[in-house]
Amino acid sequence: MASGQVMELDASEEKQKNRRSGLHEQQRRWGWIFISPWIVGFTLFTAAPILISLYWTFTDYTLGSEDAVNFVGLTNWQRLFTDPLALQALKVTGTFAAIAIPIFLLVPLGMAALLNAENLWGKRVWRTLFYLPYMVPAVSGIFVWQAFLNGQSGWLNRMLRFFGIEDFLIWLSDAPFIGNYWNFEGLPNWLQNEQTIATAFLIMGFWGVGNAMLTMLASMQGVPKELYEAADVDGAGAWKKFRNITLPMISPVIFYNLVLVAIGMMRYFEVPYIVSRGTGAPNNAAYFYNIHFYKTAFTAFDMGYGAAQAWFIFILSMIITLALFATSARWVFYAGGD
């Protein structure tokens, strides 16, 4: 090939490279143009408020006050760890989370396993019924449950009386031995009783497990059938197949729901706030951390102290999430992973 032709080919390749480079640069520029509204919105309405709230944690800023904002250092943080109401609210939140997180994982897991059973009749109907409550708006669902759990006219106590459970419990409390340790005086008003309000919140929480159930069911249906067939050949029973095949294969979805539930417990607010009308009654048994934060920031308008409370629960949520990720390598199985 003549040297002239070689030079022409080199020039043609160089032009193609320049054309491709120019096209890539144009695509990159248009990409930034299209994404710029989101960047501006994120900066103005998310990143900037987050940074401003962090600054407020070191000030005595009070919303609506005409006084100058003063830098107070770690005063708000010291106040947070010495505030008896904040510590009480944190205790209520932590205790409820420790009970609720396992339940809100096991219940949808059991529902998904039931719907995944081969011999279950009407799977589509049950799947719809289990998921449908999740579609009900939260506030509407809370009002429904308030009526259901009412101590006088609620359907829960009516059913317990209809099936004779109240009479049975009264009989037990009158028994010679049991009555010395337990005194039953009647069915409680679930939402007004300090000992039962946490149980009422758990019952209300079952209303929203449909989404977790659906993700777990989808994951179960994606488990290769060959694994179950091989287990049948080895003579494994239903429980062994569930424990040794199903659970490891769906462990990423269980982990995903665990993280969501844990974070959800740290921001648990709507149910106790509406039920107790923001008071945390009875006897602060429903005084969750986010109610205390809401009253501090948006009732007393103490934004400096409120920002410190918000950042504390954010840091606590991050620690819990990082701890879950740190331990996930021991029990979460990813197909195709190391």
pLDDT at 147: 92
Cα(231)–Cα(336) distance, integer angstroms? 20
Residue type, 296: T
Per-residue pLDDT of the chain (338 residues; tens, 9 = 90+): 555 554 555 556 666 666 667 778 888 888 899 999 999 999 999 999 999 999 999 999 998 888 889 999 999 999 999 999 999 999 999 999 999 999 999 999 999 999 998 888 888 899 999 999 999 888 999 999 999 998 888 899 899 888 888 887 777 677 666 655 556 667 888 998 898 999 999 999 998 899 999 999 999 999 999 999 899 898 888 899 999 999 999 999 999 999 999 999 999 999 999 999 999 988 999 999 999 999 999 999 999 999 999 999 999 999 999 999 999 999 998 865 55
The single-letter DSSP state of residue 292 is: H
Q: How is 144-212 classified by DSSP, letter by letter?
A: HHHHHT-TTT-HHHHHHHHTTHHHHHHHHHHSTTGGGT----S---TTT-TTTHHHHHHHHHGGG-HHH
Identify the residue whose tokens are 């002239």.
4
**The pTM is what?**
0.85
Cα(228)–Cα(51) distance, integer angstroms? 52
Q: How is 275-289 classified by DSSP, letter by letter?
A: HHTTS--STTTT--H
Residue type, 331: W
Instruction: Kindly state the greatest CA–CA separation across the chain.
Output: 114
* CB atoms closer than 10 angstroms to residue 279: 14
The single-letter DSSP state of residue 71 is: B
Backbone angles phi, psi at 205, to 5 degrees: -70, -25
Cα(192)–Cα(286) distance, integer angstroms? 10
Domain spanning 75-143+195-328: CATH 1.10.3720.10: yes
- Please provide the distance, in angstroms rounded to a whole number, between the alpha carbons at the two ends of the chain: 52
Contacts of 138 (CB under 8 A, 6+ apart): 208, 270, 271
